[in-house]
Amino acid sequence: MTAPTELAELQKERGLGDYGEEVERDIPQIDMSDYFNRKEEITDALWDAATGIGFFQLTGHGIPQTLIDDAFALSAGFFDLLTETKEQYPLKPGTNAGWEYMAQVRPSTGTADRKESYQITLPRMRGLWPTGEEIFGFKETMLAFERHNWAVAMKVLECFASRLEFKPGTFTEGHDPDTPEYQSTLRLIHYLGMEDAKPEDFKFWRAGAHTDFDCLTLLHQKEGQGGLQLCPGKDEKGRATQWTDVPPLGGVITCNIGDMLMRWSDDKLLSNLHRVRMPKPEEYLGPRYSIAYFAQANMDTLLAGPEGKYEPMTGHDYIQMRLGANFAKK
In this predicted structure, what is the pLDDT of residue 224? 85
Domain boundaries, the chain: 10-127+147-298
In this predicted structure, what is the pLDDT of residue 15? 45
In this predicted structure, what is the pLDDT of residue 10? 46
Average pLDDT, the chain: 86
In this predicted structure, what is the pLDDT of residue 111? 59
With vertex at residue 259, the alpha carbon angle to CA 167 and CA 264, rounded to the nearest 5 degrees, is 25
Cα separation of 321 and 186, whole Å?
A: 20
Sheet of strand 216-221: strand arrangement? 29-31, 55-59, 253-257, 216-221, 288-295, 185-191, 115-120, 98-101
> What residue type is assigned to position 95 of the chain?
T
CATH number attached to the domain at 10-127+147-298:
2.60.120.330
Residues 151, 172 contacting (CB under 8 angstroms): no
DSSP codes joined into one string, 62-120: ---HHHHHHHHHHHHHHHTS-HHHHTTSBPPTTT--EEEES-BB-TTTSSB-SEEEEEE
- At 68-126, the pLDDT tens digits run 999 999 999 999 999 999 999 999 888 899 999 976 555 555 555 678 999 999 999 99
Length of the chain in terms of residues written: 330
3-state helix, strand, coil in the chain (%, to 5): 30, 20, 45
Residues of the chain with pLDDT below 70 are 1-19, 103-113, 194-206, 233-240, 281, 283-284, 323-330
Q: Which of these, 259, 264, 261, lies nearest to 310 by C-alpha position? A: 264
